[in-house]
Structure 1
Amino acid sequence: MARVRWWGTGLVALVLLVLGAGLPLLDKALGSRGTPLAPGTVVSVGTERDGVRPVTFVVPSPGWVLDRADTSLASNAELLSGGVVFSLSVVVPLGSVDARKLWNGLGRIVAAGGHARVRAQPVPITTAHGLTGLTGGLAGRRRAGMATVFAKDTLGATVTASGPPRAYREVASEVEAMVRTIRIAAP
């Protein structure tokens, strides 16, 4: 009979354990997923013109992290806090843009993702700078949140923020505060 040696199997199992458990812990410890943002940080999104991006918003409180893996400041920014994802995308339409068209388009995009839906009847929202748009709830399986759209001249912005219901409730006021700081500069 052949003699079975388990040390090789044990070594393979140890390597898999280190890779499976150790690397995510190391990644989290090093913070390579995101960049913590201080309260008052201005995040600018959109194609730069003369060194300025056209859409901005302000981070209202600590605990938000810029997700570098899912952010391209030329088109979108994604922030994370306690399981909640805040995503702002710049919209450059081919023709004229208005908030109702953006809302309908965002609704189709969110529904296509299969995880959530926006409410059919949004309500008007105005930022601290006078920018007007539409906002409403976002709901799905084990998800709660909100969606907002803004349109100005030939540029728009869509925002979704969602997460597990409890986590979203904890940061809902912070999400609304960020949304109310959005500015769109004319291109």
Structure 2
Amino acid sequence: MTSLLVMVGAGVALTAGWPLLNAVLPDTERLRAGSTLTLSPGAVAGDGDAPKSARFTVGRGWTMSRSESNPRNGYRLRHGTVELAVAYLMPPRAARAHQFWSGLRETVKIADAGARLGRPNPVTNARGTSGVTGTLDHAGRTGRASIFPSRAGDYAVEIQILGPPGARRGDRAEAERVAGTLTLP
């Protein structure tokens, strides 16, 4: 009977305490300027050279949502009012950039029926990584989406840069700068 009461008490404490703990602890983490983040399904802390990985580097003023960031799946970062979402994509079979784009169009429409994804245009970022990019209007925010597939097409990295229509140009430019640091081995 005593152990049952302890178990029930622990359950009540967790049920009531967990939301309170989440409310007290901040979800955002400030990132140091020059921090390099790695994205890979086999990610291990500091393993930036893992096969099928990607890396990008942030500058000053970036925060990361802890609850929406995981080095295996993706990161959600913020600079001012602009959000930068970086996601790892692994198709069931090798795909080209335009095929990934079609999948993104469907995914965006599921999340927001009124979302608009523009036509994909070829892009090469500052580090020489090639992909496609286009405009994105999603949930009242505007910006750009880009997809950078690996050379073999067996994985890709999706980047969404979104902010309110009146977002500071400097915040958008900083998000574009970070996207320009993306490298795939």
**For the superposition of Structure 1 and Structure 2, which TM-score range results when normalised by the shorter chain?**
0.7 to 0.9
Partner of 1:116: 115
Partner of 1:19: none
Q: Please tell me the residue identity of whatever aligns with 2:155.
A: L
Counterpart mapping for 1:19-168 below 5 A = 27=24, 32-48=26-42, 51-52=47-48, 53=50, 54-59=53-58, 61-114=59-112, 116-119=115-118, 121-140=119-138, 142-152=140-150, 153=152, 154-167=154-167
CA drift of 1:142 comes to 2.9
After superposition, the C-alpha distances for 1:51-108 in whole angstroms (9 at most, x for unaligned) are 345111111x322101101112111111012232211111111111211111111111
Please, what TM-score do these two structures have when normalized by structure 1?
0.75
Structure 1 SS opposite 2:134: strand
Question: Residues of 2 paired with 1:132 and 1:104: CA distance?
Answer: 17
Partner of 2:172: 172
Structure 2 SS opposite 1:159: strand
In structure 1, the gaps of 5 or more residues are 1-22
Question: Residues of 2 paired with 1:170 and 1:130: CA distance?
Answer: 23
CA contact (8 A) 2:81 2:171 kept: no
In structure 2, the gaps of 5 or more residues are 1-19
- Computing the radius of gyration from Cα coordinates, the structure with the larger value is 1
After superposition, the C-alpha distances for 1:160-179 in whole angstroms (9 at most, x for unaligned) are 12121112644121121111
CA drift of 1:49 comes to 6.1
Identical positions, percent:
26
Larger CA deviation: 48-57 vs 161-170: 48-57
After superposition, the C-alpha distances for 1:108-162 in whole angstroms (9 at most, x for unaligned) are 111211163211x222111233211011111145311110001111121111121
Please, what TM-score do these two structures have when normalized by structure 2?
0.76
Question: Residues of 2 paired with 1:170 and 1:49: CA distance?
Answer: 31
Question: Residues of 2 paired with 1:49 and 1:68: CA distance?
Answer: 16
Q: Please tell me the residue identity of whatever aligns with 1:165.
A: P
Q: Please tell me the residue identity of whatever aligns with 1:117.
A: R
